[in-house]
Amino acid sequence: MHEWSVAEAVIRTVVNWANENHVTQVKKVKVGIPSFSFLDVEILKEAFDTMKSDSPLGKAELEVVFKDPTFKCRNCGLTFSLKDVRDQLESLKGEFGEEYPLHLMPALAPSFLKCPKCGSHDIVAETQDITIDGIEVEESGTAQTVG
């Protein structure tokens, strides 16, 4: 039940932020999740809704945004995302169908992809964490970003 510990961590972070900034009511929390993390969004939202009561997040809605993994070339130092190697991915999709292996296992990238700048296969997947990308509060109605 990884989703529950993620929801708990998100709630704890936002509650701390709300207390520090004297925010009494959070409207929306936007989290970024790596697309390959296998988290079940429905379970995550259910966990969030269950644990958010009795906090400034009591009426908050959880918004989930999936982030694609990024890669770094160890030969030339270029950092690139899956968008930058779209043409390479298109041929992979042709071979493997929609469930192409990189979507599930970015660590496989060096076997399938080459650097779009120098053509090297010496690339590594950058690890990505779950991030809180924005918090919307009741008073001002504006979104704020926290680290």
Q: Among residues 141, 146, 138, 134, which one has the least CA distance to residue 17?
A: 146
The residue with tokens 């900034």 is 21
Does 118 sit near Zn ion (CB under 5 A)?
A: yes
Q: How many residues bind Zn ion (CB under 5 A)?
A: 8
Describe the strand order of the beta sheet including 123-125 as a list of residue ranges. 79-81, 70-73, 123-125
Interface residue with Zn ion, options 115, 125, 135, 137 (CB under 5 A): 115
Region binding Zn ion by CB under 5 A among candidate stretches 82-90, 95-103, 119-127, 130-138:
119-127
- Judge whether 76 is annotated as a binding position: yes
Contacting residue, 9, 65, 76, 104, with Zn ion by CB under 5 A: 76
Residue 117 CB, nearest approach to Zn ion (Å): 5
103 annotated ligand binder? no
* Spatial distance between the Cα atoms of 129 and 67, rounded to a whole number of angstroms: 10
